[in-house]
Amino acid sequence: MTTENDRTAKAGGASFHEMWRDLAPLGRHRDSGGYRRYAWTAADADCRAWFRQQAEARGLTYEVDRNGNQWAWLGDPLAGDAVVTGSHLDSVPDGGAFDGPLGVVSSFAALDELLARGARFARPLALVNFGDEEGARFGLACVGSRLTAGQLTVEQAHRLTDADGITLPRAMEAAGHDPDALGADPERLGRIGAFVELHVEQGRALDLSGDRVGLASAIWPHGRWRFDFRGEANHAGTTRLADRRDPMLSYAETVLAARREAELAGAVATFGKISVEPNGVNAIPSLVRGWLDSRAADQPTLDQVVDGVEKAARSYAEAHGIDLDVVRESFTPVVEFDHALRDELARILGADADLRVPVLGTGAGHDAGILSASIPTAMLFVRNPTGVSHSPAEFAAEDDCVAGVLALADALEGLACK
Ligand code: GLV
Ligand code: MN
Ligand code: MN
């Protein structure tokens, strides 16, 4: 019988450790300890160079697609019915080390594990790093996979702009990628038979159930809404309270309303990003712009929360003489992962008597969710003992990560090998 120690001593575990160590310093902020790996920046370029080097070191066929996603192929990329695994290397502001990179590093480690097992592949295998999953720089999540799946038009992508006024095409061009090439890529998706994304769990379900690895059932519908509260800039010392049109007040009341609506509905709602003009300590703001991220188990509940927050915001704005615009910047409907693929993975992983693989839903968005509208997709989650994510404190123990690598290797072997 194979023991846990024998299993973790295999090739996948050793290569995981080395890759993790090499990737760890890239894009890490000295003071916060968090990652600032934003799309098409120098830190992103370092991560992309790392991916390319891993691909080339293994003799895989390396390519960058029209939307800037990186691919590493074992077997003929044009043969069709490929099995693909991977995730993303970019981060949220001061993100953790695991959200995204765990899936990419585990893909290479799982391949190493399969090659060490002497696996014989019957289908092409590709590893992928999707560009700009978090949307930290241009405000829209999953840009690389959305473009590829035709869920974001070239015109919409060309209009995306960062906080410094740099458009996505300019940022891509500066990083050496041709923005004129952007666009839907049905031909590429047509060559993929299954996509499996491994990801750190962003909650504590596995910790609570005592399992190392889980399978995804569904992703909650979620979106981002921009609330622009416009008032009148004025002197903070000399303007009578009664004479003010201060948009910060209606913004603050709206934050509390979002919390209330989410609690009532059993959903979540977060204002995590704000920009203020003119942003002076001694000036009443002229504009407060806040971004609402809201998610719920089903669409009617999400609609109810967002409608409730908007209604409350409008009444607070009116009471303070504030103009309000609300714009939906992105939306992802509920995702039910492919049942046949999930059952197949449950069957494959169920062959290991030491591994129990519960099925979990999640409120987090993923490239696998975007692609699920076009191709069969599945996700594996790795235990996160604190549940913390999108924070420098995000963590998963190395032996759990290696258990994830071995589960991914088993999954890929079951899907792609003779
Ligand atoms: C991505 O991690 C998201 O769920 O926003
Ligand atoms: Mn994330
Ligand atoms: Mn992620």
- Please write the tens of the pLDDT for every residue from 234-265: 999 999 999 999 999 999 999 999 999 999 99
Q: What is the dihedral of CA 339, 358, 144, 72, to 10 degrees?
A: -90
Distance from residue 405's CA to the centre of ligand 3 (Å): 17
- Is the CB–ligand 1 distance for residue 140 below 6 Å? no
**Is the Cβ–Cβ distance between 191 and 161 less than 8 Å?**
no
Whole-angstrom Cα distance, residue 378 to residue 198? Answer: 9
pLDDT in tens, 81-130: 999 999 999 999 999 999 999 999 999 999 999 999 999 999 999 999 99
Q: What mean pLDDT comes out for the span 183-205?
A: 98
On the question of pLDDT at 134 being above 80, the answer is yes
**Cβ(370) to ligand 1 under 6 A?**
no
Q: Is the CB of 216 under 6 A from ligand 1?
A: no
Whether 13 contacts 402, CB under 8 Å: yes
**How many Å lie between the centroid of ligand 3 and the Cα of residue 274?**
22
Within this chain, do residues 341 and 325 fall inside the same structural domain, yes or no?
no
Using CA atoms, how far apart are residues 307 and 223, in angstroms rounded to an integer?
13
Residue 8 has pLDDT above 50, yes or no: no
Domain shared by 83 and 197, yes or no = yes
Are 50 and 142 members of one domain?
yes
Residue 3 has pLDDT above 90, yes or no: no
Q: Which tokens sit at 289?
A: 């712009």
| pLDDT at res. 5 | 43
Q: Which residues of 301-318 are buried (b: 16+ CB within 10 A; e: fewer)?
A: bbebbbebbbebbeebbe
The ligand placed nearest to the CA atom of residue 363 is 1
Look at residue 10 in the predicted model and tell me its pLDDT: 66
Task: Measure 51 CA to ligand 2 centroid, in angstroms.
Answer: 19
> Does 208 lie in the same domain as 305?
no
Q: Say how far apart CA 14 and CA 205 lie, in whole Å.
A: 27
Do 273 and 403 share a structural domain?
Answer: no
> Per-residue pLDDT tens for 302-313?
999 999 999 999
Please tell me whether residue 51 adopts helix, strand or coil conformation: helix
Whether residue 311 is found in the same domain as residue 340: no
Q: Which of 275, 308, 332 is the last residue of a domain?
A: 332
- Identify the pLDDT of residue 4: 46
Say if ligand 1 is within 6 A of residue 55 CB. Answer: no
Domain count, the chain: 2
- Arithmetic mean of pLDDT, 50-79: 98
The mean pLDDT value for 40-68 works out to: 98
Q: Is 141 in the pocket of ligand 1 (CB under 6 A)?
A: yes
Nearest CA to ligand 1 atom 1: 365
Average pLDDT, the chain: 96
Query: Is the pLDDT reported for residue 21 higher than 80?
Result: yes
For residue 311, the domain's CATH number is 3.30.70.360
Clarify whether residues 212 and 282 are in a common domain.
no
Q: Which of 199, 388, 390 to mutate to test the pocket of ligand 1 (most atoms within 8 A of CB)?
A: 390
Residue 325 CA to ligand 1 center (angstroms) comes to 24
Q: Find the range with the poorest average confidence among 13-17, 252-256, 394-398.
A: 13-17
d(CA 338, CA 375): 9
Whether 290 is in the pocket of ligand 1, judged by its Cβ within 6 Å, is: no
Q: What is the pLDDT of residue 23?
A: 98
Question: How confident is the model over 336-390, as pLDDT tens digits?
Answer: 999 999 999 999 999 988 889 999 999 999 999 999 999 999 999 999 999 999 9
- Residue-number span of the structural domain to which 317 is assigned: 223-332
| Preceding amide of 278 cis, omega within 30 | yes
Question: Are 133 and 273 within one domain?
Answer: no
In this structure, are 302 and 326 located in the same domain? Answer: yes
Mutational pocket test of ligand 1: of 35, 88, 90, 92, the residue with most ligand atoms within 8 Å of the beta carbon: 92
Q: Residue 1: is its pLDDT beyond 60? A: no
> Domain of 10: which CATH number?
3.40.630.10
pLDDT at 266: 98
Where does a domain end: 283, 313, 332? 332
- Helix (H) / strand (E) element for 227: namely strand 222-230
Per-residue pLDDT at 113? 97
232 and 297, same domain (yes or no): yes
If asked whether residues 147 and 245 sit together in one domain, one would say no
Mean pLDDT of 67-92: 98
The verdict on pTM exceeding 0.85 is: yes
Mean pLDDT for the stretch of residues 186-201: 98
> Tokens representing 360?
């979990």
Q: Quick check: CB of 364 below 6 Å from ligand 1?
A: yes
Quote the ligand 3 centre to 87 CA distance (angstroms): 7
- On the question of pLDDT at 2 being above 50, the answer is no
Percent of the chain with pLDDT over 90: 95
Specify the ligand 1 atom closest to the Cα of 389: 2
Residue 405 tokens read as 């690598």
Nearest ligand 1 atom to the CA of 99 is: 2
**Residue 218, burial from CB neighbour count under 10 angstroms (0-12, 13-18, 19+):** middle
Domain boundary (332, 353, 378) is at 332
